[in-house]
Amino acid sequence: MNILIVDDDRTNLFIMAAIVRRLDDVEPVSMESPLDAVEWLRGNEPDLILLDQMMPDMDGMELLRHIRDDGRLDNVPVVMVTANTAVDIRVRALDEGCNDFLTKPVVVPEVQARLRNLLALRQSRALLRDRAALLADEVERVTAVLQRQGEELVKRLSRASEYRDPETGAHIERMALYSRLIAEAAGCGAAYAQELMKAAPMHDIGKIGIPDMILLKPGRLTPEEMTVMRQHAAMGHRILANSDIPLLRLAAEIALSHHEKFDGSGYPNGVAGTGIPLSGRIVAIADVFDALTSTRPYKRSWTLEEARAYLVQNRGRHFDPSLLDAFLSRWDEVCRIHHENADELAHPVPLDV
């Protein structure tokens, strides 16, 4: 450690430096001129500063003010050496951030004891700061790990559903991108939009509970089969609900609400308007738009314009009007997402996570 000593009197400077040298592991940095000290402090942080109060050019009080104005040196203790025992000077110095005083003529053991105490205090403070920084880093690291684990879980669940769902991975990809786009365009904030994009791929996870003969049936479903098929919303919700992972809770909300319609004619609960969670209202637009513009075994793909016209026709019926407007306001990006994420294969293939 080092102690900066500032004193215009060479003899005093020499004596103080000698006293400081006798402390363990401490080196003095001696300065005769307070202006030199100010200059030196610009590029250095001592462990303690010892100031003479009476100096020409700049007295100890002014130098103290300089030191305390510099935020970098907040944790450096300052001891003022003064011949003046007047209480008002000491109070003023304390107000300005001085930590302790030494009275001339100095008593060597007293100087050493005071310096030792202040240095020990500074060391333990630094230790606490280091520990706090270490803990903050650790918390950040663990939070990032948890976040990654949540995301990986979501990816794996989505992959599991791809094995059962005739819809391709590209559909999942596109509808997730459309969902983020709508959330951004509607002013939901980048963080929510990002979470929505990650959670949306699980909207149909409940289909793993639907029998093959219904899920994979090439033709139209009978009303009875349709009733079974519709259970995928509640099943998906049951799979994902009540998780401690926020992303899974959002995914559960989407699974339950992505087939609700704005006019209340959807399923499973027939909720209407803003009674449907925002996530469900957004994903409904993304999911339907992409289903229409994709080729499925039972239908050709609609053109983007045809799908757009369908959405507009159902504005306020199936879809939340303001969210639909937000989607359409980004039409160029919608087209780009559609073209850049074309279906590659008719059947999904497992990939490494």
As a whole number of angstroms, the distance between CA 353 and CA 219 comes to 33
Binding span for Fe ion by CB under 5 A among 21-29, 75-83, 177-185, 279-287? 279-287
Q: Is 143 exposed, middle or buried (0-12, 13-18, 19+ CB in 10 A)?
A: exposed
Helix (H, G, I), strand (E, B) or coil at 94: helix
Q: Are the CB atoms for 249 and 196 separated by under 8 Å?
A: no
Residue with tokens 């130098």, as numbered in its chain: 63
Residue 178 or 192: the one with the smaller Cβ distance to Fe ion is 178
Task: By CB under 5 A, tell whether 253 contacts Fe ion.
Answer: no
Minimum Å gap between C-beta 311 and Fe ion is 15
Residue 173 or 287: the one with the smaller Cβ distance to Fe ion is 287
Residue 319 is given by DSSP the state B
Residue 106 or 160: the one with the smaller Cβ distance to Fe ion is 160
Minimum Å gap between C-beta 131 and Fe ion is 49
Query: Which are the contacts of 246, defined by CB distance < 8 A and separation ≥ 6?
Result: 150, 195
Residue count, binding to Fe ion (CB under 5 A): 2
* Of the candidate residues 47, 260, 287, 320, the single one contacting Fe ion (CB under 5 A): 287
Residue 114 or 171: the one with the smaller Cβ distance to Fe ion is 171
Q: Which helix (H) or strand (E) holds 120?
A: helix 108-164
Q: Which helix (H) or strand (E) holds 246?
A: helix 246-257
Task: By CB under 5 A, tell whether 184 contacts Fe ion.
Answer: no
Query: Which are the contacts of 335, defined by CB distance < 8 A and separation ≥ 6?
Result: 304
Minimum Å gap between C-beta 182 and Fe ion is 15
CA dihedral 141, 143, 147, 148 (to 10 degrees): 20
Task: By CB under 5 A, tell whether 204 contacts Fe ion.
Answer: yes
Minimum Å gap between C-beta 156 and Fe ion is 18
Minimum Å gap between C-beta 221 and Fe ion is 13
Binding span for Fe ion by CB under 5 A among 60-68, 69-77, 264-272, 282-290? 282-290
Helix (H, G, I), strand (E, B) or coil at 268: coil
Minimum Å gap between C-beta 179 and Fe ion is 11
Residue 162 or 204: the one with the smaller Cβ distance to Fe ion is 204
